[in-house]
Amino acid sequence: MEHTNADEARGSPERWLECAYECLLEGGVESVRILPLAKKLNLSRTSFYWFFKDREALLDALLNRWKSKNTDNWIRQTEAYAESVCEAVLNVFDCWFDDSIFDSRHEAAIRSWAQQSPAIADEIADADAKRIGALTRLFERFGYEPLTADVRARAMYLVQLGYVSMKTREEMPERMMRIAEYVEIFTGRRAKNRELQRFFARRGVPEFQYSRVD
């Protein structure tokens, strides 16, 4: 019982990190401070040090959470099984719509942080290179020449970054209506209806309304 009460008084690393994450999204990196976090969590300031050495360790944890979720998942999506390049691209499109795979708000917050920190800017540059490299390998896997694969990868990636940086908001039917066209622009090939159907099923679209006839 005493152990349980002590845990409640200190919180947990997950609670501190989640609170720091919410503060980062709401107010930027300057809002991620130990005392304000403690007040939000209704915990003592000293309990923070049971889990993190200092504020920098907490910021490192936020950065690692971003790397693991956004970059590692992005690369996994590029490597997922696909019958064709169109389906492979649709696998990556899941990042556009599923926060459990790719957290766009966290991405925007980290990129905002990078404007104040050369070290974080370096982390962003490294992540961009890894993600573009993974997309390039995707296109090469389906027979595209290296330069063509690189250009298509960059076009696809920079479009998504545009959505993040501009905080573009579209109604879901409007975005879904464009999916088949995006696939054709990025690949130079038309997605088959069955490929689109699998994508829309993952997205929970109730009826397959947005494809074109093969």
Structure tokens at 91: 């696998």
> What is the value of pTM for the model shown?
0.89
Parse the chain into domains and list their residue ranges: 1-52, 66-202
Highest mean pLDDT of the ranges 43-52, 145-154, 167-176? 145-154
pLDDT of 209 above 80: no
Angle at CA 170, nearest 5°, toward 100 and 116? 65
Among the listed residues 125, 128, 123, 155, the one whose alpha carbon sits nearest the alpha carbon of residue 139: 155
Rounded CA separation 63/124 (Å) = 10
Among the listed residues 56, 62, 52, 70, the one whose alpha carbon sits nearest the alpha carbon of residue 23: 62
**pLDDT at position 206:** 67
Residue that has been written with the tokens 């694969």 in this structure: 149
CB of 92 within 8 A of CB of 74?
yes
Rounded CA separation 148/154 (Å) = 10
Average pLDDT value for residue range 124-128: 98
Among the listed residues 130, 142, 135, 139, the one whose alpha carbon sits nearest the alpha carbon of residue 157: 135
Rounded CA separation 199/6 (Å) = 47
The full length of the chain comes to: 214
pLDDT band at 186 (very low <50, low <70, confident <90, very high): very high
pLDDT of 163 above 90: no
166 vs 23, more confident: 23
Average pLDDT value for residue range 161-167: 83
Q: Return the CATH number of the domain spanning residue range 1-52.
A: 1.10.10
Average pLDDT value for residue range 122-133: 98
Taking only the tens place, the pLDDT of each residue in 68-99 is 999 999 999 999 999 999 999 999 999 999 99
Lowest mean pLDDT among 2-16, 30-44, 76-90: 2-16
pLDDT of 138 above 80: yes
